[in-house]
Copies of this chain bind each other. A is one copy, B any other.
Amino acid sequence: MQSLEARIVKDGVVKAHDVLKVDSFLNHNIDVALLNEIGEEFHRIFASEGVTKILTIEASGIGVACITAQYFNVPVLFAKKSKTINISDEVYSAPVKSYTHDKTYMARVSKEYLGKDDRVLILDDFLARGEALHALSDICTQAGAKVVGAGIVIEKAYQGGGDLLRTAGIRVESLARIKSMTEDGKIVFC
């Protein structure tokens, strides 16, 4: 998606430890007009898949998921990263290693909101090693739901997570795929 790549080049900042900071428009301060373009594009890609539910994980996936859900007219379900008294004990769960937070947590989804009739579109803002996406896909499998695809805003393609998931049979569509980036600010797309 050209406007997204242009925005990443303009406002993204490459930091140490292989971090691409896009918090000025995607995952802290959010440009909702851009999210609408993103949502429209995900709908163009997955419109024919009969999506019944959008699944994401807190926190930064939620904005992308809610805006995109308007184009599909389906609910959003977001996996929780911590146990709260607000969801039941009857959950599907899978571990996720977070490199940005440097810890492993359990992604949890109430069993009542995901089932075998669901055709799920998984959405997230980032895909690097694919840990979160793998966990969400695993949760769908536990529920007997069909994953029709995964829509990612930014994929760090060189980290290999996306291709691992593609090899495993998941249709992963990323709107910007980064081939390489360096701390002098040079970002190359696939």
Contacts and interface: CB of A to CB of B under 8 A. Distances in A.
Interface of A: 15, 17, 19, 21, 23-24, 27-33, 35-36, 58-59, 62-63, 65-67, 69-70, 73-78, 80, 82, 84-87, 100-101, 109-110, 112-113
A76 B112 CA distance: 30
19 contacts: A19-B86, A21-B86, A23-B113, A24-B112, A24-B113, A28-B78, A29-B110, A30-B66, A32-B75, A59-B59, A59-B78, A62-B62, A63-B65, A63-B66, A66-B66, A66-B67, A67-B67, A82-B101, A84-B101
Tell me what chain A mostly uses at the interface: helix, strand, loop, or mixed: mixed
Contact of A31 (B17, B27, B75): B75
